Amino acid sequence: MRLMEEKILAEGKVLPGQILKVGSFLNQQIDTALLAQIGQEIARLYDGAGVSKVLTIESSGIAIAAAAGMAMGVPVVFAKKHKSSNVDGEVYTASVHSYTHNADYTIVVSSDYLRPEDKILLVDDFLANGKALMGLSELVVKAGATLAGAAIAIEKGFQGGGDALRAQGVRVESLAIIDAMDDNGITFRPQ
């Protein structure tokens, strides 16, 4: 998606530790014209795929998931993060390792909202090592639902998570894939 790449080049900031800061348009502040186009593009990519629900994790994926869900006309479900694995009620849980915080957390979704008949599209803002997407996929498997694939705003291709998932046969569509970034600039993977 050319607009996403242009926005990253214009406003993204590369920080030490290969961190890409996009707080001015995708995280702390959201450019809603871009957000609407992200939703439309995800709907276009998964047109005809039979998606019945969008699933994301709180909190930075919610706006993108909401835009995608509105464009596709399907509900959005978001998994919550818990520090402990003690969760009451009829829920599905998965453990996710966060490299950013060097800690594990549990993601939780009510069994009311993920059903065996659902075909699920995973949506998130970033894809790096893929641990969050793998956790969400685990929830889909536990619910007996079907995975349609994943749609990501920005993939850090050089961290390998996206390609590992593709190698497992998961459809992963990223609106921009960064293959390298450093002080000299950002290199996108041709799509």
Q: Among residues 135, 174, 181, which one has the least CA distance to residue 158?
A: 181
- 53 vs 162, which CB is nearer to a copy of itself? 53
- 45 vs 70, which CB is nearer to a copy of itself? 70
CB 74, min distance to a copy of itself, A:
7
- 76 vs 177, which CB is nearer to a copy of itself? 76
- 20 vs 70, which CB is nearer to a copy of itself? 70
Binding site for a copy of itself (CB under 8 A): 23-24, 28-33, 35-36, 58-59, 62-63, 65-67, 69-70, 72-78, 80, 109-110, 112-113
Report d(CA 46, CA 120) in Å as an integer. 11
From the CB of residue 189, how many other CB atoms can be counted at a distance below 10 Å? 15
CB 25, min distance to a copy of itself, A:
8
CB 118, min distance to a copy of itself, A:
11
CB 37, min distance to a copy of itself, A:
10
- 25 vs 188, which CB is nearer to a copy of itself? 25
Enter the tokens of residue 27. Answer: 């995280």
Q: Are strands 119-127 and 53-57 parallel, antiparallel or unpaired?
A: parallel
Taking CA atoms, 71 is separated from 4, 18, 100, 114, 175, in Å, by: 18, 32, 31, 20, 16
SS3 assignment, position 72: helix
Report d(CA 13, CA 19) in Å as an integer. 8
- 3 vs 180, which CB is nearer to a copy of itself? 3
* b/e code 21-30 from CB counts within 10 Å (16+ = b): ebeebbeeeb
CB 96, min distance to a copy of itself, A:
16
